[in-house]
């Protein structure tokens, strides 16, 4: 029986085990941490995530989507909280398209369960990888507590061991001509749990992603099934008026929330007391190439860790599985050909999802408040509604399609320029009625092709 080693039983590693089982592979799935199904989640990772089209596609292909859907909360758009406490809603798509807030731990646990229940995946916890012998397809581990060392030889090795991948660090980085970068952005983040009302209901509309955009920093909130919201404050570590290093006392924290997030502060006056429940964490973009040597390959964050601002980290990692599986069907056991095709296809997409993520930080923290952006988004969405076959806004390409990320990025740039021209040319203003805008669109779209 063919045998694969997967290093890392996180979201991508666990899903990939299910795929490999389906393809007839026996899988050894090794995890540095303990069994998360028996313990609390580790710190430093956000406890909920947004699944969008690519994620569902990868889950549905192995029949896991419906299990996850049971606890997923649709978010149909952004609720933008202005500094004066007013809110406005910006739909993400048309026809009730949504991204879905899910619990990271819940998905991960279900994926492990399914992999294990196949009888073809063996899970090893508390076992950290000390290196891979790339020439021999041998991976080496040490048990965290008893220090016992062991090795696993297999036909192929998948490293899905995250942004700080030990396989990449121990066995690829020193390889001649391995390009690598880890770039921390200026900003960090801190999670804040906004509890439910006493009756278990949500304190904010649960069907949207809430944003308090404040230019150089922002607060966001995603709903959890049990009534709470996981909120995240993103801001620079230092060198700015509003930055983490200026939040030294409870007084500083309260002052920030009173001044900048007054409506949120009303919902959570205990904010300063819970401040230390979560660490302040950093954010990095990690790029590397190649993604494989011989029969050892990187997947997910190990290959292309990104900042979280497009909600595409997990979706991109799951799409790695979709693409890899397609290539396995094409190349069979010729792993070298498979991995070469995989990295050739996925590297530009990994780069693009990182560029898109950085770009979306500016949108979320600043532009969603900008009348020009709001108008442009409105016009784009309306064109998309009226002529869905002719126009797909960037957000829809990324979140509601599986158009390659790099195509979406390029196309998005072009569309952005075209749309500015369109609005200027037709002198569209925020005051214009919807009927008037529709008329302009119909007239234009019948004569000219926008994209």
Residue 228 CA to residue 139 CA, distance in Å, equals 41
Distance (Å) of CA 349 to CA 284, 303, 311, 344, 399: 17, 11, 15, 9, 14
Residue 425 CA to residue 444 CA, distance in Å, equals 11
Q: Give the shortest CB-129-to-a second copy separation in angstroms.
A: 15
Give DSSP secondary structure letters for 4-23: EEEE--SHHHHHHHHHHHHT
Q: Give the shortest CB-91-to-a second copy separation in angstroms.
A: 37
**Residue nearer to a second copy on the CB measure, 89 or 184:** 184
Q: Give the shortest CB-282-to-a second copy separation in angstroms.
A: 5
Q: 20-42: buried (b, 16+ CB within 10 Å) or exposed (e) per residue?
A: bbeeebbbbbbbbbeebeeeeee
**Residue nearer to a second copy on the CB measure, 182 or 330:** 182
Reading phi first (left if > 0) and then psi (alpha if -120 to 50, else beta), residue 149 is in: beta
**Residue nearer to a second copy on the CB measure, 38 or 174:** 174
The answer to whether 114 touches 107, Cβ cutoff 8 Å, is: no
Residue 372 CA to residue 71 CA, distance in Å, equals 36
**Residue nearer to a second copy on the CB measure, 87 or 281:** 281
Q: Give the shortest CB-86-to-a second copy separation in angstroms.
A: 36
Binding stretches for a second copy (CB under 8 A): 164, 169, 173-174, 176-184, 237, 282
Q: Give the shortest CB-362-to-a second copy separation in angstroms.
A: 20
**Residue nearer to a second copy on the CB measure, 170 or 401:** 170
Residue 7 CA to residue 168 CA, distance in Å, equals 11
What length does the chain have?
Answer: 451
**Residue nearer to a second copy on the CB measure, 196 or 280:** 280
Q: Give the shortest CB-184-to-a second copy separation in angstroms.
A: 4
Residue 238 CA to residue 242 CA, distance in Å, equals 8
**Residue nearer to a second copy on the CB measure, 282 or 390:** 282
Residue 211 CA to residue 43 CA, distance in Å, equals 23
The answer to whether 387 touches 446, Cβ cutoff 8 Å, is: no
Residue owning tokens 């990772």: 45
Helix (H, G, I), strand (E, B), or coil: what is residue 418?
helix
Q: Give the shortest CB-178-to-a second copy separation in angstroms.
A: 7
Q: Give the shortest CB-230-to-a second copy separation in angstroms.
A: 22
**Residue nearer to a second copy on the CB measure, 7 or 437:** 7
Q: Which of 86, 103, 313, 106 is nearest to 228 (CA)?
A: 103
């Amino acid at each position: 029986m063919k045998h694969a080693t997967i290093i890392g039983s996180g979201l991508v590693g666990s899903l990939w085990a299910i795929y490999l089982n389906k393809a007839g592979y026996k899988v050894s799935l090794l995890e540095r941490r303990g069994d998360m199904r028996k313990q609390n989640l580790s710190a430093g990772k956000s406890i909920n995530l947004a699944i969008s089209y690519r994620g569902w596609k990868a889950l549905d292909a192995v029949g896991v989507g419906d299990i996850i859907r049971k606890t997923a909360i649709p978010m149909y758009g952004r609720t933008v909280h202005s500094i004066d406490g007013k809110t406005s809603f910006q739909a993400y798509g048309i026809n009730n398209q949504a991204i879905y807030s899910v619990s990271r731990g819940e998905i991960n646990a279900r994926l492990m369960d399914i992999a294990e229940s196949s009888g073809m995946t063996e899970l090893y916890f508390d076992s950290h990888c000390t290196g891979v012998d790339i020439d021999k397809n041998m991976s080496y581990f040490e048990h965290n507590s008893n220090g016992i060392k062991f090795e696993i030889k297999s036909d192929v090795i998948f490293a899905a061991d995250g942004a700080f991948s030990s396989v990449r660090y121990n066995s690829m980085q020193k390889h001649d001509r391995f390009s690598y970068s880890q770039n921390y952005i200026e900003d960090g983040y801190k999670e804040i749990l906004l509890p439910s009302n006493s009756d278990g209901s949500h304190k904010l509309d649960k069907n949207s992603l809430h944003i308090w955009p404040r230019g150089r920093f922002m607060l966001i909130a995603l709903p959890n099934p049990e009534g709470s919201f996981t909120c995240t404050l993103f801001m620079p570590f230092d060198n700015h008026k509003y930055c983490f290093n200026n939040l030294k006392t409870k007084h500083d924290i309260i002052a920030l929330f009173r001044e900048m997030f007054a409506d949120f502060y009303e919902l959570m006056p205990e904010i300063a007391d819970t401040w230390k429940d979560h660490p302040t964490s950093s954010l990095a973009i990690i790029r590397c190439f190649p993604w494989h040597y011989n029969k050892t390959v990187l997947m997910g964050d190990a290959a292309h860790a990104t900042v979280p601002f497009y909600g595409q980290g997990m979706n991109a990692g799951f799409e790695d599985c979709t693409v890899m599986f397609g290539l396995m069907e094409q190349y069979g056991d010729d792993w070298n050909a498979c991995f070469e095709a995989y990295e050739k296809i996925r590297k530009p997409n990994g780069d693009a999802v990182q560029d898109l993520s950085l770009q979306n930080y500016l949108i979320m923290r600043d532009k969603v408040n900008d009348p020009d952006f709001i108008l442009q988004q409105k016009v784009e969405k309306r064109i998309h509604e009226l002529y869905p076959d002719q126009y797909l806004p960037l957000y829809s390409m990324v979140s509601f399609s599986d158009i390659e990320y790099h195509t979406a990025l390029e196309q998005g740039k072009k569309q952005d320029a075209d749309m500015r021209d369109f609005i200027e040319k037709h002198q569209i203003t925020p005051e214009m009625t919807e009927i008037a805008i529709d008329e302009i669109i119909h007239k234009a779209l019948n004569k000219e092709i926008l994209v």
